[in-house]
Chains A and B, each alone.
Chain A
Amino acid sequence: MTYKLELTKVSKSYGDKKVIDDLSLGIEPGEFFVVLGPSGEGKSTLLKLIAGIEQPDSGRILVNGVDVTSQPPNKRNIAMVFQSYALYPNMTVRGNISFPLRMHGASKDTIRGKVESVSKLLKIDSVLESPVSKISGGQQQRVALARALVRDPSVFLLDEPLSNLDARVRLSARAELKRIQRELNQTFVYVTHDQKEAASLADRVGVLHGGKFECVSRYQDMYEAPLTKWLGDFLGDFPMNFIPINSGSGDGAVEAGFRPEWVKVGSEGFHAEVEAIESSGGLYYLFCVTHEGPRVVIRDSVRREVGEEIRFKPVKQLTFRNGMLVQTPGEKLSEPSSRA
């Protein structure tokens, strides 16, 4: 089958700095794909390459199976929403939303009809004639989205579109975005550094690190069984805990990895001293130093004291050798990443 969007061995450097490094990716029609990563890892650059604003140094980009690598942005039939919204400041809301249609030579009647229906869908039909500087941040975000939705592009690119909204609006906007994507059955590539957003929106998440995807899979899968130590560290509110294991065999460093919620505090297992405590919704996160040396974070439902000696035992744990997850036979794990 053909992917809606496909990248093969794409690389991009700025000067000596390799931002995207031999990256390949295939996105299915109707998929909501989230690119997750810390800031500065090249997420925006990746979208710019797909949109045609930047040219890759090598590699190919295909839309609907057609190579568009050498096409300018206006020939690619791709829509994009920037983090800053990039609304045309000298135009009204209507002027902004209709702009792509005008550029594609749509008739007056078509434009009017499409603008009306998309603005109803996004509940901005009441501000159509306002200048974009006169409407609220939430409305501006909707206008940017409407301007993308009003066309019928092959792929939608969204670069942290919700990050400029305040927390409450952001939650409802997130839900609405998901609903719209489902309703229209469109292909979305969505960039964010926010894991919660990735977890709640994505069909699949790609974690970008060092110019490549560290892992591409469902968020829950990679959270439960991160393919690398780096990934375990990056995902979750708290980094994964690692404790060295004496494996006997001399083939590299072996560590046990477990999440704070995978442990049982009681009378067996590791000895540790509580150094600090953070409480959250009736649960307590204990920052401990183990007698073996490594520091860990563990979750408990009982309030403890700083300085208290406790014992804990992971009820579930993963094994990492040389920073890579050791996959136990029979266990279902995510598909191999491009790095593997």
Chain B
Amino acid sequence: MRKPNDLNYLLFIFPALLYVGYFSFYPAARAVYLSFQTPHSHFVLVNYKSLLYYGLSSAVLNTVALTVGALLIQLAIGLGAASILLREFRGKRVFSALVIIPMGVATVVAAVTFSFIFPPPPGGYANALLELLHLPQFNWYANTLASLFTVMVADSWKNTPIVTLILLAGMSGVSPDLYRAAEIDGAGALRRFIHITLPNIRGSIAVALIIRGVSEFNIFALPLVLVGYRIPLLTTLTYEFYSSASIGDYYYSLASATILLAFVAAFILVVLKLGGGRR
């Protein structure tokens, strides 16, 4: 039963909900609706069929590969950084401030910077480092996989801090007694990590994966600057159609946006399922 009190307080939330309804849910629904139209006809799949011809499947494949790879990198570094932040050591305050700095750096700035570090061959700052160490040079864009990896590294630089903070929140919640008990039982640091830390922060890992996963699907500025339209992703493909002057392309962009939305929606459903279980 809802108390009448709730209704009064709902009035305070209402403007925000109205706002997101009008500017988020309504346009999203419109995008889906319009994607099944052309300037001349209604409820047709022609936009989607044309997309297939224009490389939709490789865009989907690339997007999924990029998402998985970037998540793995961010999780690995995030776990390491969070484990470090959990301990007391000299310089911890400085370190914890450093760790969040990339969060404040605009994506497009990260893109500029990494275009200096990983420019198309020859040279660049990364290759200059390799040369200093007398290691072989590397073409960061030799093939699709290499290009995607370059984007992943740049993206992880910007986004590992969020993952770190979420994992740190989870790790701080694990009782130190558990570690002490395990230590007394003779478990080494690695074993403690595998048998105590990981199972206890499962929830936080899931949250980090979900939040970052959705954002990875939406990754846009970085690939746009680093690889342009050469390696299509769902976002850059959509944008390519959108920024072309043709009205037919506008409808293609809606169809491709709808597919992106479908992926994100699937992800969100997983979130709500998981979230619902925990509440």
Measured CB to CB, the residues of A under 8 A from B are 14-16, 55
In residues 1-32 of chain B, which contact A (Cβ within 8 Å)? 1, 3-5
Contacts of B1 in A (CB 8 A): 15-16
Q: How far is the CA of A55 from the CA of B3 in the complex (A)?
A: 10
Shortest beta-carbon distance from B7 to chain A in Å: 12
Q: How far is the CA of A16 from the CA of B1 in the complex (A)?
A: 8
Q: How far is the CA of A16 from the CA of B3 in the complex (A)?
A: 11
Contacts of A16 in B (CB 8 A): 1
Shortest beta-carbon distance from A13 to chain B in Å: 9
Q: How far is the CA of A14 from the CA of B4 in the complex (A)?
A: 11
Contacts of B3 in A (CB 8 A): 14
Q: How far is the CA of A57 from the CA of B174 in the complex (A)?
A: 44
Q: How far is the CA of A326 from the CA of B267 in the complex (A)?
A: 70
What are 5 pairs between A and B in contact, CB < 8 Å?
A: A14-B3, A15-B1, A16-B1, A55-B4, A55-B5
Shortest beta-carbon distance from A144 to chain B in Å: 25
Q: How far is the CA of A14 from the CA of B1 in the complex (A)?
A: 9
Q: How far is the CA of A249 from the CA of B10 in the complex (A)?
A: 62
Shortest beta-carbon distance from A68 to chain B in Å: 18
Shortest beta-carbon distance from A154 to chain B in Å: 25
Contacts of B5 in A (CB 8 A): 55
Contacts of B4 in A (CB 8 A): 55
Q: How far is the CA of A15 from the CA of B3 in the complex (A)?
A: 8
In residues 44-67 of chain B, which contact A (Cβ within 8 Å)? none
Q: How far is the CA of A122 from the CA of B210 in the complex (A)?
A: 58
Report the nearest A residue to B1, measured CB to CB: A15
Report the nearest A residue to B4, measured CB to CB: A55
Q: How far is the CA of A16 from the CA of B4 in the complex (A)?
A: 14
Shortest beta-carbon distance from B3 to chain A in Å: 8
Contacts of A55 in B (CB 8 A): 4-5
Q: How far is the CA of A14 from the CA of B3 in the complex (A)?
A: 8
Shortest beta-carbon distance from A242 to chain B in Å: 40
Question: Nearest 3 CB-CB pairs, A to B?
Answer: A15-B1, A55-B4, A16-B1
Shortest beta-carbon distance from A56 to chain B in Å: 12
Q: How far is the CA of A46 from the CA of B1 in the complex (A)?
A: 21
Shortest beta-carbon distance from B67 to chain A in Å: 43
Shortest beta-carbon distance from B84 to chain A in Å: 35
Contacts of A14 in B (CB 8 A): 3
Shortest beta-carbon distance from A48 to chain B in Å: 12
Q: How far is the CA of A79 from the CA of B5 in the complex (A)?
A: 22
Contacts of A15 in B (CB 8 A): 1
Q: How far is the CA of A291 from the CA of B200 in the complex (A)?
A: 57
In residues 153-175 of chain B, which contact A (Cβ within 8 Å)? none
Q: How far is the CA of A244 from the CA of B4 in the complex (A)?
A: 49
Q: How far is the CA of A55 from the CA of B8 in the complex (A)?
A: 13
Report the nearest B residue to A16, measured CB to CB: B1
Q: How far is the CA of A317 from the CA of B46 in the complex (A)?
A: 95
Shortest beta-carbon distance from B11 to chain A in Å: 15
Report the nearest B residue to A54, measured CB to CB: B5
Q: How far is the CA of A55 from the CA of B5 in the complex (A)?
A: 9
Report the nearest B residue to A14, measured CB to CB: B3
Report the nearest B residue to A13, measured CB to CB: B1
Shortest beta-carbon distance from B232 to chain A in Å: 54
Q: How far is the CA of A269 from the CA of B4 in the complex (A)?
A: 60
Shortest beta-carbon distance from B95 to chain A in Å: 32
Q: How far is the CA of A324 from the CA of B235 in the complex (A)?
A: 78
Q: How far is the CA of A14 from the CA of B5 in the complex (A)?
A: 11
Q: Mark B124-159, 1 if CB is under 8 A from A, else 0.
A: 000000000000000000000000000000000000
Q: How far is the CA of A99 from the CA of B53 in the complex (A)?
A: 72
Shortest beta-carbon distance from B136 to chain A in Å: 63
Q: How far is the CA of A97 from the CA of B80 in the complex (A)?
A: 53
Q: How far is the CA of A140 from the CA of B215 in the complex (A)?
A: 50
Shortest beta-carbon distance from B1 to chain A in Å: 6
Shortest beta-carbon distance from B202 to chain A in Å: 33
Shortest beta-carbon distance from B139 to chain A in Å: 61
Q: How far is the CA of A55 from the CA of B6 in the complex (A)?
A: 12
Q: How far is the CA of A116 from the CA of B25 in the complex (A)?
A: 58
Shortest beta-carbon distance from A123 to chain B in Å: 39
Shortest beta-carbon distance from A51 to chain B in Å: 15
Q: How far is the CA of A15 from the CA of B4 in the complex (A)?
A: 11
Q: How far is the CA of A55 from the CA of B4 in the complex (A)?
A: 9
Shortest beta-carbon distance from B8 to chain A in Å: 10
Report the nearest B residue to A15, measured CB to CB: B1
Shortest beta-carbon distance from A266 to chain B in Å: 57
